[in-house]
Chain A
């Protein structure tokens, strides 16, 4: 009897995965040289990187001067300095020397613990606010948005409790940038909610006012609003008033931010299904109960990414106060270019790269957080 059945008694050894799937060569083929045009693009990109990256790294780090007392360390021999002629590189010594000024402006050096304490309190209140798992968000928000500003106001400006009075023209640097954007957001949130509700109101006068205000402010550049606050505000107040310049900038920024915030919140209000409004009506809630307990909590949760984006925009836009001669981070960096102790050909570029990096760090951090919240709130079905 011949054996016609075949019974496999052992497994074949597994084949190696195809070269195109597993090796680095395969990855390069798939991702960099899939077609002729792809290959050409890759080569152009590599050429660009090779052309720009090493000089940039050299300028920023290798040739850079890291420490020194004055500008002579960043000047070449022909310019009256110490470095060989033809040298060019970042002058970090200058940033190093001016660092405290870039952070706090001309704030009295013996009082620096006050802004530092404010920063510590802010961080301590902000971090639990940002982490979704930490409970007691309501209390946290009240502390951050109501109690903290009062304490910070007293600490920074002084004049009470034996703290010496520090006038606002002495404030400057990153501190001013942060204060302007924090106050802007703290005022624009409630003002934006009111404006958004006004714009969706059925009362014609209220609606017309809200629409006019929002569209007028959104239609013009921030600079004109800042000019308005700094030039017209003293004109429109009691004769002989002497309204603080910093306060004027704060008002300008807040007005501007409120109009943008109103549009973000209106988007959230529109996204709430009609049934929610009707259900609240059916429960016998009046307008304010309906809004505070049913509609707004849902609407604001929906637009948190939009709010964060508005905040990023405002954080960047506060740099415009430089133009009405206030010294925020960018303003103070730019003002220091004229500082005779550090005038060199590389000072402006170094200072701007430093300021740009600080701005970038804050904005990038915020945009990452916004993306994280967006993913968390995203309830759509993705495969």
Chain B
């Protein structure tokens, strides 16, 4: 009875002091946080306004339309010193994306090879891969960039010795010097667009053919030859079109100028140093992720697939790898993001990436708040897009459970 009495009681909730009311407390804490944040922002803003007024500075993004006045060594889109700051930022964004994309591809391939190598039954190979990982994981990426830039690429032959080399071998078209790697630049003649179109058609046809082959295998149990047909579609078709059109492609060869090589295509040492450092540094981390992913698939899975009669290669491709990928993709995403963010180290060697060009504009125009806001916006956007893509890929790969 006493229990029932206590439960039904008088019907009122027990009297609690307002001080201990969780809902009220929550409001008070949040209000305090809000006031603190607003106060910090207001304090910073009013000081910034005063400081800017003292320095006779205006705020706003209008300055982006004024003339930049500096040159950018590597620009993949049209740019000159007369272009606007906005154009300079576009050029630098393209440069950032180019080095990040090249780095991601190379780091993934190297990391995959090293990661698999660490699991190899071959004692020597696995030790060498371990040494690689332990060296690169424990050194700052900036130091690796300097190592390539100042320690290795700066020691390559000087441009003068290249001139001598050209005199001795007039037919040489490919030069490695401390000012970069010179190679012939392709000049696309009339009608080259058809070759590209043929390549596109080939890729689409290959995808369609693979889908048909898969459907046929499911229906009849026999697999039509896929690899050879696809290779023919993707490579042979554009080549045939290329030959039929009378080979509309010529090359612009680098030749010695007065101070430097002229013509051709040059890969600058700044790009090379950054690209090599980013790829090799990130590859060490990717190798660890790949190793953990493959070891995360139970031994029984590969044993079961051997028992079902699959060969080692097929077992890896159809059974082990899809399961390992589920473990690999999430940490791989964060490594890709790290690589993109580390590409900002370009500023240390003068590769014209977003931070380097932004820094130049910041020094020239003094619009520090705007430039840093642009940096944050662009990097956060790149990070978000990359994570969205990788999340989509992850969802595609994830275990579909009942």
Contacts and interface: CB of A to CB of B under 8 A. Distances in A.
B141 A316 contact: yes
Contacts of A215: 380
Given A221-B341, A360-B138, A235 B51 contact: yes
A220 B341 CA distance: 6
B348 interface: yes
A32 B122 contact: yes
A337 interface: yes
A237 interface: yes
A42 B30 contact: no
Interface residues of B, number: 55
Contacts of A31: 121-124
Nearest to A30: B121
Contact of B344 (A205, A223, A363): A223
A348 interface: yes
A162 interface: no
A320 B138 contact: no
Interface residues of A, number: 57
Contacts of B140: 316-317, 319-320, 330, 359
A223 B345 contact: yes
Interface in A227-241: 227-228, 231-232, 234-239
Contacts of B139: 316, 356, 359-360, 363
Contact of A34 (B30, B121, B150, B376): B121
A106 interface: no
A352 B151 contact: yes
A349 interface: yes
A63 interface: no
B383 interface: yes
A381 B270 CA distance: 50
A242 to B, nearest CB: 12
B399 interface: no
Interface stretch (B84-92, B239-247, B367-375, B388-396): B367-375
Interface string B291-321: 0000000000000000000000000000000
A256 B387 CA distance: 20
A345 B155 contact: yes
A228 B139 CA distance: 25
B146 A352 contact: yes
B141 to A, nearest CB: 7
Interface of A: 31-32, 34, 38, 41-42, 45-46, 48-49, 202-206, 209, 215-216, 218-224, 227-228, 231-232, 234-239, 312, 316-317, 319-320, 322-323, 330, 334, 337, 345, 348-349, 352-353, 355-356, 359-360, 363-364, 367
Given A219-B376, A238-B47, A316-B141, 12 more contacts: A34-B121, A48-B128, A205-B30, A221-B342, A223-B355, A239-B47, A322-B348, A323-B345, A348-B146, A352-B146, A359-B138, A363-B138
Q: Which 3 A-B pairs have the closest CB atoms?
A: A363-B138, A236-B44, A31-B123
